[in-house]
């Protein structure tokens, strides 16, 4: 049976035991720029040549993903993985930027950082962040990916020109231009105000069949 629900980014990340993606990321910097502009248009409005946060009552439907539970009990992406990975890269870039402000000992800031870390890395049995772990894995048959290095370390090598690295740099540059207040608020907007149509299939075969049926209807 296929389930279809509109869920926030937080809901999708929080409810799964983890995610499996293929190393077939195709989003260019142009698509990331469009996505970033959509996010900024939704989150901010211009007033006196400054960005101020909108009063956000509604959610922004950012697209759709399709998953099925694989043999490792992970949610494997069949459709929408480029947008999913892009959102994860953006959250990681925000988290790394906030690292420079953690000395402020702000409870709100600490909560945001803990939430992003927990959703990306998970917790140990003692309830602390396990920085050596990732809740997003690349399929076993795929080559070692820049994605894993970025999520584990928050850094990229200067000579890396993968799409992961290019888009991560793009987000870093955009985030560095934001104020501390904007950097603190943006993760909550992404996690709780951005939503995806989450289609959960019983199997990979069923999911592919659904996608083929949708294509035929177009």
Helix ranges (DSSP H) in 28-129: 29-43, 81-98, 107-121
Which pLDDT value is given to residue 214? 64
Between the CA atoms of 172, 174, 175 and 179, what dihedral angle is there, to the nearest 10 degrees?
A: 150
CA gap 51, 144 in Å, rounded = 39
Q: For the chain, what is the mean pLDDT?
A: 86
Q: Is pLDDT at 35 greater than 60 in this prediction?
A: yes
Question: What are 124's two structure tokens?
Answer: 């140990």
Residue 28 has phi, psi (to 5 degrees) of -90, 170
- Name the residue with higher pLDDT: 102 or 3: 3
Which of 28-42, 94-108, 143-157 holds the top average pLDDT? 28-42
Helix ranges (DSSP H) in 16-80: 29-43
The domain in which residue 31 lies consists of: 3-217
CA gap 208, 218 in Å, rounded = 16
Can you say how many angstroms the Cα of residue 3 is from the centroid of all Cα atoms in its chain?
21
Please state the domain count of the chain: 1
CA gap 18, 134 in Å, rounded = 8
* Contacts of residue 208, Cβ cutoff 8 Å, sequence gap at least 6: 78
């Amino acid at each position: 049976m296929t389930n279809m629900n509109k869920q926030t980014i937080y809901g999708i990340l929080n409810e799964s035991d983890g995610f499996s993606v293929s190393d077939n990321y195709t989003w260019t910097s142009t698509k990331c720029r469009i996505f970033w502009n959509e996010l900024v248009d939704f989150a901010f409005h211009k007033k006196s040549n400054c960005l101020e946060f909108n009063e956000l009552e509604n959610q922004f439907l950012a697209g759709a993903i399709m998953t099925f539970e694989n043999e490792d009990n992970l949610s494997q992406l069949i459709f929408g993985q480029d947008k999913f990975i892009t959102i994860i890269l953006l959250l990681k870039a925000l988290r790394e930027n906030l690292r420079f402000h953690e000395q402020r000992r702000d409870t709100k800031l600490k909560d945001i950082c803990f939430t992003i870390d927990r959703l990306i890395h998970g917790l140990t049995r003692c309830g602390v962040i396990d920085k050596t772990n990732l809740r997003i894995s690349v399929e076993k048959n795929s080559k070692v990916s820049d994605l894993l290095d970025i999520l584990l370390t928050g850094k990229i090598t200067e000579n890396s020109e993968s799409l992961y690295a290019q888009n991560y740099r793009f987000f870093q540059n955009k985030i560095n231009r934001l104020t501390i207040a904007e950097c603190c608020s943006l993760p909550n907007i992404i996690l709780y105000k951005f939503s995806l149509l989450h289609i959960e299939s019983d199997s990979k075969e069923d999911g592919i069949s659904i996608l083929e049926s949708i294509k035929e209807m177009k």
